[in-house]
Amino acid sequence: LMVPPLNFAMISPGVYRSGFPNPRSHPFLLQQRLRTIIYVHDGDCQTYHQQFIRDNDINYKHFRVAANREPFVEMDHAMVAEILAELLDTRNHPVLVHCNRGIRRVGCLVGCVRKLQGWAMTAIFDEYQRFSGTKIRIADQEFIEVFKSPAHMEVQHPAAVVAGQAE
């Protein structure tokens, strides 16, 4: 029985999102033939997950990102731009980006990708809310709304994910 991680979904061909994978979801992840896993959380990665990544020769990138919290804590815009550059770089594909539950930090990142794709804010917020359920945070939606991709954000091999197309 293949079990995907919590809140697993495709963002665009070769780009996936989820909550923290547990050992039961590792066989499912192997089927995705991941080249890169990006973990966005201010805590440490679980030992069993690090071992899975090493054993399967998957590139691993950990960005220590604090969650948005009222009244004055918000994700670092420059770090989010750096994560987006990694996510959109086709040399990292197939790629999985995950946080602990696949709701808040990943939801903000996906919202920023959707902005790059030209989605309407109502559609972006609708997608965010589908994954967050009752855990909607206004601070997350505000972050997505005000996020602007810095001019210095460089993507070496930009994915068609920005255009919303497969390569």
Residues serving a catalytic function are 99
**Nearest to 143, CA basis, from 53, 72, 94, 87:** 72
Nearest to 18 by CA among 80, 78, 82, 105: 105
Max Cα-Cα span within the chain: 45
C-alpha 128/C-alpha 9 separation (Å) is 12
Strands (E), 1-154: 9-12, 15-18, 36-40, 59-63, 95-98
